[in-house]
Each structure stands twice: as C-alpha cells, then as structure tokens.
Structure 1
Amino acid sequence: MSVCQSKPVVCALLIAGLSLSSVALAQGVHNNQHLRFTQEHGITFSTIGDAGNPAYTYFNINQTASVGRVDYEYRIATTETTVAQYARFVDVYRHFVPQNEAINLAGNSLGWLGNDAAGSPAYAIPSGWESRPAYASFRYFARMANWLHHGAPDLANASHDTFAVGAYDDTVTGTRTPGARVWIPSRDEWVKAAHWDPNRNGPGEGGYWLFPDASDEQLMPGDPAMGGETSAGNAVEWPSEQFRPWDVGSYGDVQTPWGLLDASGGAREWTEDRGSPFNTSRLVLSTGRSPTELTPGDQLYRDRIELFHVDSALASGRYVTARFAMAVPSPGVLGIGGIAVVVLFRRSR
C-alpha cells in the first residue's frame, strides 16, 4: 500500500511541498474535515475553522471560568518557532536593535558574538540547535511578529518601523492592533487549536479533549522511538536511560485535532494574555523544559486544558518560545504569492 493510500493527509502535504515531520496523524486529525494547511515565510500553518465553537468551562479559585471559544477563522503554526527561524529575524533586526538590548536579543537560543565590523551586534546558532525551539522574551517574539506582518523583509527593505509597529505598536504591553496579519496567539486561540475537536462526540458534534493529543489521558513521556508521546516530564516522570529529543516535530504521530505538533513537551509557549493588569507578565501554556539537564521539565499534569503559567514578558532568560498565529487570506489570495495551500477532506473509515 502506498503512502497516498494509507495516509492521504501525508500524501497531500508532500505534494504541496510541506514538511513530512508535521503531517503524521493523530486520532483527532483523522476525523477533522476542516483541515487546511498553508506555508508562508518557511512556517507551516493550520487553518483553525469551526468559528463560534463553545468555550470549555471549568472551576477555578472558587469561580467558574471558560476558555477556548473563538468566533473567527485564523491560522496557527503547526510547530513552535525554531532557532533557525528566529535567527532569520535576528539577522535583520540586529541592525536596528538598541545596543543595550543586544545580549537580550540572543535569548537562550543564540550565541552573542559582540559587534561586527559595521558596529552591529552579531550572533551565531550553536551547533546542532537549528531545529530546537527558540527561547526568547515575549517582546522579541512580538517584534518578530511585526517583521512577519510586514512580509519578513530583508535588510535592504526593512526600517525601524518594520519591527516597532504592525501587529503590535507596543511590544511591551503586547496589545494586538486591528488588522494584524501575524501575531502571538491568545490563550483562547491556542487552547482551541490544541484541544477543540469539531467531531469529538461524532460527526459535527464538537467537544474538548483534556490533553493536546485528542485524548483525555496524560501523554506518556519517553523517547518517540520507544513509544513515548511527549518530551515533557520531570526527572521522576521521565523513563531512566531514555533519549529525550530536542528538535521540534520529534513526535510526529502525536498531534492535536488540527495537526499541531509539540502542544505537549518541546517548550512552554507565550500567549498574548496578560498575567496581571498591573505588570508586563503573560500567560504561558504547554509543558516544556530548558536545554540543560540541570533544570527538570514540567510535570505532565500541566498539559491539561485549564492550566497555565505566568511569566515576565521582558525576561530574556526564560525558556519560553512562541508559535505564531496568522490571518486567513481571502479566497482570491490562496495559492498565489508564494503561499502553498492544500485542502484536506474527511478521511473515510
């Protein structure tokens, strides 16, 4: 049996020229008739449809809370931002970044080399880190969103405003501007893409899964070659003597109902949501770990739909990444302008 017979979604994406690492199937992906993937700026996006889905309601600190309702279609990256993708942004922005921020721009992903001959900060990707999640503060991912909003221009076509305005006119407060084309997802947008299944309870009967792999059971930590489902897990939870992968997309068979990878494990992820109205903190979702064995990974239960962390938007030493969201192009734009598009229909059983 050919791959096109056994895995039609994989086949369709290969024909479209998208990465095989982002197309293996999970339970929810088999059933999702809304699946549609596009690729822009080297990033694969899944279109999140089923607008107006109900929210997930839960009990939080003596009151009822809800999360996950989104009343519009949007796109979201199937993987977390990689070090190589972040480095493309940095290679342009380094010519505009204030000198007192030069070392912070490196985050926990790039090596800072001081200034080059022209006086601009210089950076390098550590050997073998190209496909790892990029760790940086919220404000630099917000400036990267602005750069992507303007079409990811090269140095010859960039200016200070390329990074200062666009999706966010203030990359500290992180308030999304009307008409933003690329942005850091809200908590609702992230949760919907990770947990909402439009066919959870049967055809057309949507619902939420507790964990981001179309299941209600905690993911199993471990080497994917040995049946592991996530790179998350603290020192007690992780199987002894098993390899813990670093690269994004390492668990290709573990996906959300919308085809997202690494919604568990990989790294923690920024959202736009404020952690407090009185400071610059942001809500952080998913489980992750630092690139050093000295810092244990998150406990697995933190992958549950209702849980989140809070972290400072300005801190550059945090091991937090982002996966970008993007506006859905108008029908007349699909398939042109360098956008690779494939529409996926429900798989028969």
Structure 2
Amino acid sequence: MRFRFERNSGFFGRVAVAASVAAIGVLALSASPAAAGPTPDYGIDFVVIGDPGNRHVNFDEGRRFYPPFAPEDFRVGTVNYKYRMSRTEVTVGQWLEFVNAYRPYYDGPTNWSEFTSNWIVYDAGLGRYRAIAGAENFAANMGWRYAARFCNWLHNGKVGEQWAFENGAYDASTFGRDDNGNYTEQRERNAGAKFWIPSFDEWIKAMHWDPNKDDGEGGYWRYPTSSDDMPIAGPPGSGDTNTQTGMMYDVGSYPHVTSPWGLLDGSGGVSEWNETVATESGWRFVKGTGANLGQPFDLIDRFNGLGPTSSFPGLRLAGIIPSPGSTIGVVVGMLTIHRRRRR
C-alpha cells in the first residue's frame, strides 16, 4: 500500500492518511528548547548530534521521500540546531522506575503493555511492579502517551507528584480522541522541553546523516549502521542486529555497529516512537526495526505509523544540550535549508 496524500490546514500542508511502508518527509516543527541551568542525565548515556543545517535526504539516498510516494515539496532530515539522543533505547530497568513512580495515578489494567511494557509485571507480594528476571536491560516497549509522560517526569526532575507526569514536555490533557475517532494529542513538544520523543527529522539525522561521508561532503547512509549494506541478523558475536530473529538481548549487545554519531541499536531492539504526526487521524511515525520486524524497515526511507495507544514501539530519548548557568535559545528556520556547517 502507498500513502495517499491530502491537503490539510495544519503546518504540514499534506498528511499521509493510510499507514504503509512508503515513507514521506516532514520538517521538524519546533526549535531546540531553552535550557536554564544544569539538566541532569539520570544515568542515561546521551550523544550530541551536531552539524546544524545539514542538507536533506536526496533522491538517490531515499527515493520513497519523493514522488510518486511523497509530494514534490517534502524534504527529510534537515535539523538546524544541535541536540542530544540517548545512545540506546530506554531499558526495562529505566522504564520500571517510571512505572512504579506513576503507579499511584494509573487507573488502567494492571499488566497493560502500553504502560508496563512486555517485561514488567505487578507483584502483589511486593506491592509494586517488577521486571521479569533477565529482562532488565532489554529495550522497553510502551505506548506513545506513556513515553510522553516519561519525558514529562524527567523534565520535572522525577518529582513523584501527579502534576509532574501530566505536563512539561507534553500536555497530557490533550490526550484523547475526537468525535471522528481522531487522536487529539498535541502535535509537537512544548517550547522549553528538556527531554522529548525525537521528531522524524531528528531521528533520521541521528541514525543516517554522516558529515564525513563522501570525502567530507556529507551524506546519508541507507542503514542506521553507517553502511549502505543491510546488517546481518544474528546473535551477538556473529550478527549485527537481532532484527527478525525473535530473540531479545540487552541494549548495546552489538557495540561494533553504530550510527555515524555513535548511537547503538538503530537496527534491532525495538522499533522507536517518533514525535511527528504521520496521519490525519493522529498516528505517529515509528522508525527502525525490532526482534519481530523485518529488515526492510531499517532502510532510511521505510517506516511505520501507529496510533499513540499502540504498545509495539519503544523510546530513544532526545534532549537539550545543557548549558550550566546560562540560557540557550535556538531559532529554527523551518522552511529554509541552511548552508551546512561542520561539527
């Protein structure tokens, strides 16, 4: 199935209205947020994504970002500011801390994967949630709404009060559906967010853009492994990814396979939520592959789209670059691709 594009009054102008493997491009909607004072990392290993103003994906690098699969004016991959991405996906252990912190305010089914992931269960004897033994360092899966609340919680310093989960990066009061069944979640993060779900452009750049490719001219690799060749599926030590193997391993189990910026597990682990709205009904882009998802989705111009209540994808955090004692404000040129600057 191909995407069918229709005119829309929102920022994107056109939106995809059918889920498919055919990819389209969208521009990052919000500027790099302001940072006031030091921002803790909470033990998460972040990598700076530099080279602001990088060019977009060209036709030879990602043909499905161009007609007949996408409108003529869509462009993908340009990000005009520096930002950070977590080196790996959020782990079950990291997610467990959030699940137990949010538990007093949670009113859904006890072991609901949208909230708990597939690897966390409630233990009545302990009176709290726990991870399934051996899964603590697997990549966690979750719904988009809970991924957004996780970002809110980090933004607010892991405060245990309900307000800390309901706003900060995303306003949870917007989470719902309208009379037509469309999802109503806000389209992009709040200005000033410290942690967020990466946009489609931010994800593409962090996984595929290499400023040093082609003798320093810069370019996009077709796979999130600093390569134009499909990674080899197999267990750690013999393969490059667990994609379509049906087996889960700890994050970072393929340390020799990285994006140009040093990110791990761009292929495999779990597919990853993006912030960017993909369809008129409010589905979000999902990028990458997982243990049960085929390798073609590793290609730069292939992706999925899912509603925010799906629990299939996981989360790779994006965040500001902290500047202790100062405030950073970055204005993004939304419709102009700036001349690329070196890292």
> Which TM-score applies when normalising by structure 1?
0.72
Shift of 1:96: 2.2
1:310 counterpart = 2:305: yes
Match of 2:318 in 1: 325
Structure 2 Cα separation of the partners of residues 51 and 132 of structure 1: 32
Structure 1 stretch displaced more, 306-315 or 42-51: 306-315
Distance 1:263 1:188, change over 3 A: same
The residue aligned with 1:288 is 290
Q: Give deviations 1:2-31, integer Å, cap 9, x for gaps.
A: xxxxxxxxxxxxxxxxxxxxxxxxxxxxxx
**1:39-54 equivalence runs, <5 A:** 40-54=41-55
Q: Quick one: percent identity of the two aligned structures? A: 39
1:56 maps to which residue?
57
1:66 shift after superposition: 2.3
Distance 2:268 2:161 in 1: 36
What's the offset of the Cα at 1:116?
A: 7.2
Residues 222, 100 of structure 1: alpha-carbon distance in 2 compared, 3 angstrom cutoff:
closer
1:248 to 248, 251, 255: 251
CA–CA distance in 1 between the matches of 2:307 and 2:70?
26
Matched, 1:96 2:105: yes
Residues 273/83 of structure 1: CA separation in 2 closer, same or farther (3 Å cut): same
**TM-score in terms of structure 2 length:** 0.73
Partner of 1:68: 77
Structure 1 residues 9-62: Cα deviation after superposition (integer angstroms, max 9, x where no partner): xxxxxxxxxxxxxxxxxxxxxxxxxxxxx9810110001010011111332526
What is the CA-CA distance between 1:150 and the residue it aligns to?
A: 1.0
User: C-alpha displacement at 1:326, in angstroms?
Assistant: 0.5
Closer, same or farther in 2 for the Cα pair 1:266/1:62, shift >3 Å? Answer: closer
2:208 equivalent to 1:195: yes
Q: From the superposition, tell whether residues 114 and 103 of structure 1 become closer, same or farther in structure 2 (CA, over 3 Å).
A: farther
Amino acid at match of 2:165: F
Q: Is the 8 A contact 1:108 1:319 kept in 2?
A: no
Deviation track 1:196-215 (CA, whole Å, cap 9, x = no partner) reads 00111123x21111111111
Aligned residues of 2:233 and 2:245 also touching (Cα < 8 A) = no
Tell me the equivalent position of 1:112.
122
CA contact (8 A) 2:138 2:248 kept: no
Deviation by residue 1:111-169 (Cα, 9 ceiling, x = unmatched): 1235976xxxx31110101000111111111100000111223xxxx211100000001
After TM superposition, the structure 1 stretch with the greater mean CA deviation from structure 2, 128-137 or 323-332, is: 323-332
> What do the CA deviations read for 1:224-249 (whole angstroms, capped 9, x no partner)?
312x11111368xxxxxxxx452111
Aligned to 2:131: 125
The match for 1:233 is 244
Q: Deviations over 1:272-325 (max 9, x none)?
A: 11121223x211000103xxxxxxx2221210111110112113xx33100110
Residue 145 of structure 1: which of 147, 151, 157 is its match? 151
Distance 1:142 1:115, change over 3 A: farther
Q: Does residue 220 of the first structure (1) align with residue 232 of the second (2)?
A: yes
- The structure richer in helix per residue is 1
**1:84 CA drift (Å):** 0.1
Quote the RMSD (CA, aligned, Å): 2.3
Amino acid in structure 2 at the alignment position of 1:86: W
Amino acid at match of 2:289: T
Q: Which residue of 1 aligns with 2:11?
A: none
Name the CA distance, whole Å, in 1 between partners of 2:76 and 2:257: 23
Structure 2 residues without counterparts, runs of 5 or longer: 1-38, 59-64, 176-184, 327-341
- Residues 76, 323 of structure 1: 8 Å contact kept: yes
Cα distance in 1 between the residues matched to 2:307 and 2:122? 22
Q: Distance in 2 between matches of 1:62 and 1:151?
A: 40
